[in-house]
A and B are shown apart, each in its own frame.
Chain A
Amino acid sequence: MILLAYILVALAVLVVIGLCTTHRQMNYSCISHAFLYTVLTVYVLLFRQVPVASFLIGSQYFFMDHFGLFEVLIASVIFTCAAVYAGGYVESLLKSGELEKGSLKVFYASWTMLLLVIVLAFFCDNLALFWICAELTTILSAMLVAILSARENIDAAIKYIFIASASMLFSFVGLIFLFETSRSVLGSGTLNWTELMQHAPAFPPGMLVAAFALVFIGFAAKSGIFPFHTWLPDAHAKAPSAVSALLSAVLLNVGIYGILRVYAIVHRTPAAVTIAPVLALFGFFTVAIAAFSMLPQKNLKKLIAFSSVENMGIILIGIAVSTPLAIFWVLFHIMAHSLTKASLFFSAGILHRQYRSRLSTEAVDEIRDVFRFQPLAAWGIIIGGLAITGIPLFPIFFSKLFILRELGMVSLPALFILLSLLFVAAAALGYFVITAFSEITAPGTPPDIEPYVTPLTMKIPLIFLIGLIIFLGIVFTQGEISFLNRIVQELMF
């Protein structure tokens, strides 16, 4: 019944959006949608027996376990913040004429459906169904990228769709392999994750390696792993900032979620010995490419996008290490990265409204006098930047530290390579912030830029997220630890 509640809320919101006439109404319905999901998820976590067994759930298609709920919780919190933020942001897009009033309904309808599909994806027990939901997230999010219908947005969206969907087809072939593997062992084939986990030790490793390799291609493309990351900086940089936050903080998680689920199956067989080093290698390449692409970067949103690629690489390395402790911190890193990255994109969005001329999204940022015009966004970037590089007392510090520690137990040279790459990435971020934020016009000259009055709706989610990050870095509750431990147990690492 709980799952039906999720679906019904989304449908109701869709109907309301259809009836709405003003932007404000549509925005409010989106906010309440995401907020209701947050409340629902917290309710399930606190008051229901997880994994939930009821009508529809516990069937062979859907289930709710701790991992799914964890991801849904992150997604709904980010969506709530982004929806509040979109209120002010989309308003200013409308004012500047970048978004047409006619596209508003399409925008908010895709937004609502995207949230629904993401939540369904995280509750899928059947891997093929998960594949379909993941595919739908690509389509819907590409629509959100293309909504500005400037040529470069459409280009970025098409690139995104082509790369992600073509790679996802490989994934599907991988799933067919998995199905056939289970059929050769069990008699009747299944793609049900719970069943696959049960019988995994009996599967022939050779088939599993092939299946995982193919599945990995698709989900790697979804989560921006090298060499399938090329769509990511474009799409993230050109989407409206509220959407960029979703892309980076929620959609990349869908890919990582898929990889982690399938890897959990592989981990129970000898095939893991072959696959883990390859995963680690992909992780290292991803971090390296991202770090060196960040160095010459002059565009703030692209810089942040590449930082997402870097973090996905770190997560992949953590998965490859695959000790229980590593997986625990991988999960923590997923959460910390989502929150931090959303806050960074929110700040970048405010700066984008302030400094970017109307039709040149490709151009170099001309950030000047940032502390005079946009002090909040500037501090947002600085704090977010410190958090994402992993300065102590921010949550990412702990996850990076422990993932590195676990990596060091496996191989010391790998640890040093990763550490130096992380240093390059941090330096790139620091260099950009210092050069961009220290540009000051000489006192006395009249300012030639109109200050952009940031609406309150754009400030509140930013402040909230930064507060949440700081809170998460300082306070470790027992509940949080046991919750993450349950996920590690369920994934059987």
Chain B
Amino acid sequence: MIDPAFIQGIIKVLLVCVIITAAYIISTRNLLSLVSMYSLQSITLVCLALALYTLESAPVLLGIAVVTFLSKALIIPYFIATIQEKIRIKRDIEFHFLSPTSSLVLSMALMLVVYMALTRILSETQVRENLFFFGAVIGISLMLMGMMVMLSRKRAITKVLGFLSMENGVLLFGMFVTELPFIIEFLIIIDLIILVLLTTILTVGIDSTLEDYHNRLHRFHLLQGPEERP
């Protein structure tokens, strides 16, 4: 059996990794590395789920790990990368309200606020170990950082990534705070995949003119009427 203290150490390291990926997503301008960073973040979550599994041995965590790996580390990043290639946008330089530096400072402040708020709220439930509280704080912070990406970026496709990392935050929070029934977790993932597929398809339309967009949709065979079939 592996020493629990060692596992807890690993979990802490992984949580810090999550924060680093989130900071990178907030500040980078290169779209391709944004996607790979997102899939790295998801893989970190998978590792976290596995590490928690060795501590708690709840089978739900194993399920979460598998589903997350398949959907968020493979399918969604692959899909977004394909779309990105098609629309040939490499960089997202425009920032709306916040420059990368100020958003990093802001996210640090956010983490502090989340920490204080959660200390008050969670004190009423059974006091859990420090580690779980730490995980919950990181989860909510990741979610808020994802929201900042959605607010501060201009391109819709970057916003999609912001939304996805928000969702990662929710998953992290759920993993550390409580155990939801697996069917619920599974349905949420399905729901997300549909959401991402739709938004990315629509995103293609946003940066192009109407005719162009239609041509693209036909090329992807996403929009096929009976009369267009050869």
Contact = CB atoms under 8 A, between A and B. Distances in A.
The yes or no verdict on A and B being binding partners is yes
B187 A161 contact: no
A101 B228 CA distance: 10
Majority SS at the chain B contact face: helix
Nearest to A190: B181
Contacts of A161: 195, 198-199, 202
Interface in A126-182: 126, 128-129, 132, 135-136, 139, 142-143, 146, 149-151, 154-155, 157-158, 161-162, 165-166, 169, 172-173, 176-177, 179-181
Contacts, number: 117
A33 B14 CA distance: 51
Q: How large is the interface on A (under 10, 10 to 19, 20 to 34, 35 or more residues)?
A: 35 or more
Contacts of B125: 180-181, 183-184, 204, 207
B188 interface: yes
Interface string B214-228: 100100000111111
Contacts of A189: 178-179
Contacts of A149: 205, 210, 213-214, 217
B210 A210 contact: no
Interface residues of B, number: 45
Given A139-B198, A158-B156, A129 B187 contact: yes
Interface in A329-355: none
A220 B196 CA distance: 22
Contacts of B38: none
B150 A166 contact: yes
Contacts of A150: 210
A183 B128 CA distance: 13
Contacts of A177: 121, 177
Given A103-B225, A139-B198, A180-B177, A169 B143 contact: yes
A136 B203 CA distance: 19
A420 B166 CA distance: 41
Interface in B174-198: 174, 177-181, 184, 187-188, 191, 194-195, 198
Nearest to A208: B124
B181 to A, nearest CB: 8
Nearest to A105: B225
A215 to B, nearest CB: 13
B147 interface: yes
Contacts of A155: 206
A169 B195 contact: no
A210 B121 CA distance: 7
A2 to B, nearest CB: 22
A413 interface: no
A166 B166 CA distance: 8
Contact of B124 (A106, A151, A166, A206): A206
B72 interface: no
A128 B184 contact: yes
A102 B53 CA distance: 48
A173 B163 CA distance: 14
Contacts of B228: 102
Nearest to B194: A139
